[in-house]
Amino acid sequence: MKAGQLDQRVTVERFTSTEDELGQPIETWAPLFTCWAAVEPLTGREYLAAAAAVSEVTAKIRMRFRPWMTSQDRVIHDGTIYQIESLIDVRSGNRELVLMCKALG
């Protein structure tokens, strides 16, 4: 992977759950890290479901390998939140990570 191809900033967030002083749960997404990545839209498709227009975008996000990332994390790029569908360690080399993602909202 060439560093010049990683030309877009993304933030990876992880879901956290804590409790306040009254013991009430506080659930939020906390930034894990920000890094350079390559964000490539794969498909765009619009269809009608339950009488509402729904837009689905699938993207491939490439970044440097991070062994502690999971599909429970999410990625934010230019205000778009992406749900990670799968993580791929390219050639099992622990150098490049490919995230197959779906845009939320």
pLDDT tens for the chain, residues 1 to 105: 666 789 999 999 999 998 888 889 999 999 999 999 999 988 766 555 545 555 676 899 999 999 999 999 999 999 999 999 999 998 888 999 999 999 987
DSSP 3-state of 44: strand
pLDDT value at residue 46: 59
pLDDT value at residue 52: 54
CB distance 80 to 13 below 8 Å: no
pLDDT value at residue 58: 84
Q: What are phi and psi of 90, to 5 degrees?
A: -60, 125
User: How many CB atoms lie under 10 A from the CB of residue 82?
Assistant: 23
Coarse DSSP helix, strand, coil percentages of the chain, rounded to the nearest 5 percent: 5, 70, 25
Domains and CATH numbers, the chain: 3-103 (2.40.10.270)
pTM over cut 0.95: no
pLDDT value at residue 31: 96
